[in-house]
Amino acid sequence: MKIKSILVKSIAVTALSVTGLVAANNNTNTAQAAIVENDTDVVTVKNISDNAITVYNSYKKPEATGQTLASNTSWKVIKTAYDAKGHKWYDLGKNQWVRAKYVTRGYHTQAAVTQAPVQHQTQTENTNSAATTTVANNTNTQTTTSTVSGSEASAKEWIAGRESGGSYGASNGQYVGKYQLSASYLNGDYSAANQERVADNYVKGRYGSWTAAKAFWQANGWY
């Protein structure tokens, strides 16, 4: 679906920069792309004629990921940002961005509250392919204590096996480690302990439990 560009008057850009929503260059008065404080935890796709909106890989230089979100579905939000033209975007996790103009803040009354963000199509295709996964030397033998046990630990290991073969050193594009988390999630710390901690937080926030995440993975081929 093509998205029409919106022209933003310089006076509007200036006003936004004053409130901290968009950073502006004082010399050229040209708006700069910027991540800002989140204004919502959840968004719902508007009921539009195409019945779906496009997902992009970035708000700065957006390229379609090949994935779409259906009308009236609700999604949790990780980040809010404005691009250089003043357009507002939401990150649904793992650098999957949608234009704010196509969504509303909050849940749809009929939407599933545990719905997770979409995954890049290339990631879905590659998660089970050993040929597209690289492993750093000596990192796949790291061990660390998990914070979950029983069926939760079993579900967690099941997902790790599908995502990386259980290797902390696995990488596939921007996805890193045992649970194939976005590098931005790990914030430069690829240690086994941090991967475990971030993965637990990600799953808790998205699905509530590892068993729920596993069920979603089994139904969709990603989590």
Write down the mean pLDDT value for the chain: 73
pTM for this one? 0.45
How would you class 63 by CB atoms within 10 Å of its CB: exposed for 0-12, middle for 13-18, buried for 19 or more? exposed
pLDDT of 93 reads 79
pLDDT tens-place string over residues 187-203: 889 999 999 999 999 89
pLDDT of 99 reads 96
pLDDT of 148 reads 84
What is the C-alpha to C-alpha distance for residues 29 and 178, in angstroms, rounded to an integer?
Answer: 44
Cβ-contact 24, 31 below 8 angstroms? yes
pLDDT of 97 reads 94
pLDDT of 141 reads 37
pLDDT of 214 reads 93
pLDDT of 146 reads 65
Which segments in the chain show pLDDT lower than 70?
1-31, 108-146
pLDDT of 185 reads 83
Q: Is 163 left (phi over 0), alpha (psi -120 to 50) or beta?
A: alpha
pLDDT of 31 reads 66
pLDDT of 51 reads 85
